[in-house]
Chain A
Amino acid sequence: MRQVESPKTTEEKAKVASAKPAPFGEDIDLGIYVSSAKEQPYQTDPSKLPAKAKERMLEAGVILDDPGQRAGTFIQMDNAPVHSSVRQEGVEVMAVSQALEKYDWLSDYWWQAVAVDTDKYTASVELNQHNGYFIRALPGYKTIYPVQACLYLAKARLAQNVHNIIIAEENSELHIITGCTTASNEEAGLHLGVSEFYIKKGAKVTFTMIHNWNPEVAVRPRTAAIIEENGLFLSNYVLMKPVRSIQMYPTARCVGENAVVRFNSILVAGPGSSLDVGSRVILNAKGAKTEIISRAITTGGSIVARGYVEGNAPDVKGHLECRGLILHKEGIIHAIPELKGTLAGIDLSHEAAVGKIAEEEVEYLMARGLTRTEATATIVRGFLRVDIEGLPPLLGAELQRAIEASEKDLM
């Protein structure tokens, strides 16, 4: 691990980067958002949260009424953590502020995967730090059920600054569902979320993130993962509801031999939504492997679907698959798959395809008796079906349900 920078240096770096635009996506004017909101009361029993909030959270995969199938729960409303709890031994779930007080060593992880001066959004998270979650699996502990985390935007025009740290200690197994959503279907808001994942030797992390924003919310997640020897990082991202603007390009670095990374993204852009979403994997250790799969559908919005795999070590293998479906004449999909290899004997490949639904496929299904609408729905459903290797069946089923729940909006 790199030498830890003093907090002062970090803050200074953030200040220098505070006006630095990101290379991709619309440049968001941070000045139009308010940075703090009133404190929210802490809830020991999350089922007592307002019914409307719970309903919105449920749509994003966060179950509060019957959390029996969850290893732990963290909820942050605006900038205040309102609940954190653990139901399984070997797992820690708490507000990151609390974790920083509890563990001196946590500063060794602070801004080590994501650079604080990446852009003005990471800088803002450092300079306006409010909170975030800390989730850790202790060495050798394997969770069966996922830990759930919800980042909830309640106040209008709020900038939510979140810094999350996830650590899977050696030979542990950790499953996380993060649901991000808003109270309102129309109020503007900004979500800035830094997430740093540290996956130690032989550890496995699956991270499923469901975004249910609204047409006025801008979102700038900044995620990076460091995966050690024989570690696995499996990230699933689902965005099927309207959003004004989202730009993210999570980066996973395989630093240990035979580390494996899989990114799956399901993106839907309706009219007015602008998505610039990619996944980047750097294979820096022998035998490291990655697979990046994205499915993008536009029903009138614009999508830039990026992918980047870089191979810098012997026997690494990477594949990138990016498919886009244009269901509306106003829609745009721009697929940008990139591969970079710096030595011989590596195996990197990609496939990308963008188009409308093939008439031949529609007719094939119509010849079996399906109406045109049924045939189209079947093809779209198939397009969005990603069988995710390594995801526990329970989570796979939940993910599929979340996708199916949003499918009807597409037709």
Chain B
Amino acid sequence: MGEVALSIEQLTVEVEGREILHDINLGMKLGETHVLFGPNGSGKTTLLMAIMGFPKYRITKGKIIFKGQDITMLLLDERARLGIGMSFQRPPVVRGVKMRDIVAACLRGEGQEERIRQLAEKTNLADFLDREINYGFSGGEIKRSELMQLLAQKPTLTLIDEPESGVDLVNIVLIGELLNSLLEKDCPIPERKCMGLIITHTGHILDYVNARTGYVMLDGRIVCEGDPHEILKTIKAKGYVECVKCVK
């Protein structure tokens, strides 16, 4: 088995003075993909944002250990350079900045032109390289653009917020393939150097991406951990009410 590369210990997070996450504990090994379930407002996105290091998400207690290093006090960009990447659900439009520029920045000087072209083809965005980033993009285009940037960035830990939302059936297949590529699912587990933490509402993504651990979040706490397919089955059958009961 791989080594534990992400360890979250008793993490408590405040947003604008209000405590949103309480005592979160979570561990992940290289090669693994974990899935977060939970109703709206349960704190899933907050957890991803806090791991990524957005300043608005203030860690008041606990710590995040990533690849053996305590990153709790590191800035957003320092964490990104250390190997944490995130797919934004609603990324901003940056006027005048072309997709090509951002992908080049993600590559940090590696290969460039040829590599950018390959990535654009892989994500079916060859015609988008000279477009302003996210300007007038459809839901599927945003997802693919985010994944293209992450494929260029090659993070060790990829954080993904609802990869299936706003995406049609054709796109979801491609997005599944891209996620698998990003998470090195084609390599045997011991050889993988990546891991993923995915938020999903519908669980659709589980049909395309294999995950071994699932969590249920309720009111800012992880209340359940187990096989994601089993968790999903319960949620589908009985809703989160069952999780609430189970906690009690």
Min distance, Cβ A378 to any Cβ of chain B, angstroms: 6
Determine the chain A residues whose CB is within 8 A of the CB of B80 once the complex forms.
366-369
Binds A, one of B31-39, B84-92, B118-126, B199-207: B84-92
A382's partner among B52, B95, B153 (CB-CB below 8 A) is B95
Determine the chain B residues whose CB is within 8 A of the CB of A374 once the complex forms.
105
Known contacts A363-B76, A378-B97, A382-B97; decide if A368 and B92 are in contact (CB<8 Å): no
Q: Residue on A with the closest CB to B77?
A: A366
- Assign chain A's interface to a size class: 20 to 34
Determine the chain A residues whose CB is within 8 A of the CB of B96 once the complex forms.
381-386
Summarize B's interface: helix, strand, loop or mixed. mixed
B153's partner among A360, A369, A371, A383 (CB-CB below 8 A) is A369
* Interface 1/0 per residue, B184-201 and A, CB below 8 Å: 000000000000000000
Q: Residue on A with the closest CB to B91?
A: A364
Determine the chain A residues whose CB is within 8 A of the CB of B88 once the complex forms.
364, 367
Known contacts A358-B92, A360-B92; decide if A369 and B101 are in contact (CB<8 Å): no
Q: Which of B86, B91, B94, B132 has the most CB of A within 10 A?
A: B94
A366 to B105, CA, bound (A): 10
Could you tell me which residues of chain B, from 213 to 233, have a CB within 8 Å of some CB in chain A? none
Q: Residue on A with the closest CB to B159?
A: A367
A369 touches B92 (CB 8 A): no
Q: A379 interface residue, CB < 8 Å from B?
A: yes
Determine the chain A residues whose CB is within 8 A of the CB of B95 once the complex forms.
323, 382-383
B97 touches A369 (CB 8 A): no
Q: List 6 A-B contacts (CB under 8 A).
A: A361-B92, A368-B149, A370-B77, A379-B97, A382-B96, A384-B96
Known pairs A383-B95, A383-B96 / 15 extra A-B pairs, C-beta < 8 Å: A323-B95, A366-B75, A366-B77, A367-B52, A367-B86, A368-B149, A369-B77, A369-B108, A378-B94, A378-B101, A378-B105, A379-B97, A381-B97, A382-B97, A385-B96
Closest 9 CB pairs of A and B: A382-B96, A382-B97, A366-B77, A385-B96, A369-B80, A366-B76, A360-B92, A369-B81, A361-B94
